[in-house]
Structure 1
Amino acid sequence: MQPQEREYVYIQSFKHDGSLHRTWAQGYVIESNDKRIVAVTNKTLVSEADGRKWITREPAICFFYPDKWYNVICMIRKTGIHYYCNLASPSLYDGEAIKNIDYDLDVKVNPVGKTTLLDEDEYEEHKQQMNYGEDLEKAIHRGLDRLMVDIRLRNSPFDHFEISKLYDRYLTFIEEDKKRREITV
């Protein structure tokens, strides 16, 4: 099952123990196929497990994969494209939401490609608390290795030109949707 292009979807991230980690109220789908779901969040309500709520500040193009142990959020800022990569289970869409399990480790990539690994302490803590197990730990670290290769080689989605094209596609879709709504009113 895949969401349809030009539809808004709910995005949910869980922890290994099944608890809700974070939700995005809506992502606008600009690509949906068996390889990936690409959705844009823009001034979107985000709810954290601890009850905090906030609104995203800038448009972000989010990549969710059914076969990769990470997802990527490409934030479009005045200073360039910043990437935030979550080590997570492969994502699935179940008709209700795009869902995955967050495994704590994150990688930030700045516009010139400098990477920073984050939350290693949180990963170690949760690995013990939630009993990740050896097979899961191997899958997470294989995902991290694959992510770092994709970043280094500037494979999709770490290609600024691809992100620019997808953002242009989003803007075109939004403008066309707006015109369609005006015609039907």
Structure 2
Amino acid sequence: MASPGTYIRVESYKHDKSFHRAWDKTMVLHISDSVLIGANDNVRVTEADGREWRTREPAICTFGRGQWFNTIAMIRDDGIYYYCNIGSPFSFRHDVLSYIDYDLDVKVYPDMSYVILDKEEFSVHSKLMHYPPDVMAQVNRAAEEVVGWLQEKRGAFHPGFVERWYERFLILQNK
């Protein structure tokens, strides 16, 4: 069972169950009935086509139970950038956290301005993979929810949230 300081693998899939992307090692910082918070730095990422690359900065990842989005807060020299994946609520089994990636992403800049990415990909995949109407509604609602949380400074967007969990990551990493 995952507990703070242990590592898990994070995998994303597409609606048709095809593999999308995996992050090899994410350290669990906190796990509860409502959320899993993890962190990684210089971790290997494997893409669907087999290509591998490494992340370039520390990141704090937040997965809310039952939530149709997750956040990756990347800590860079010029501030915190957020990449919010719109996807199904996650499942967690055998130290693997997985979810279905529904294409849309919300990229948030250090000044808290944002852009919604991959609308075209979402449109193409929704037809190609026959996203059901309830999934389409959930995805659109999740994109709006991310923007709402951003404006309200909730969750990962709350001032000090990322810094606090990054400090915890550094402490656990050095144990």
TM-score, structure 1 length as denominator? 0.92
Larger Rg: 1
Q: Does 1:103 align with 2:108?
A: no
Q: How far off its partner does 1:55 sit? A: 0.4
Structure 1: state its 5+ residue gaps.
Answer: 178-185
Report what 2:47 is aligned to.
48
Distance 1:174 1:134 in 2: 43
Report what 1:183 is aligned to.
none
Q: Percent identity?
A: 35
The one-letter code of the counterpart of 2:90 is: S
Distance 1:160 1:127 in 2: 35
Q: Does 1:66 align with 2:44?
A: no
SS in 2 for 1:157: helix
Q: Which runs of 4+ in 1 moved over 4 A?
A: none
Structure 2: state its 5+ residue gaps.
Answer: none
- Tell me, yes or no, if the aligned pair for 1:61 and 1:167 is still in contact at 8 Å: yes
Distance 2:124 2:160 in 1: 38
Distance 1:63 1:3 in 2: 15
SS in 1 for 2:160: helix
Report what 1:117 is aligned to.
116
- Tell me, yes or no, if the aligned pair for 1:42 and 1:57 is still in contact at 8 Å: yes
Report what 2:34 is aligned to.
35
The one-letter code of the counterpart of 1:87 is: I
Distance 2:22 2:159 in 1: 26
Q: How far off its partner does 1:51 sit? A: 1.4
Report what 1:157 is aligned to.
156
Distance 1:67 1:155 in 2: 16
Distance 1:90 1:21 in 2: 16
TM-score, structure 2 length as denominator? 0.97
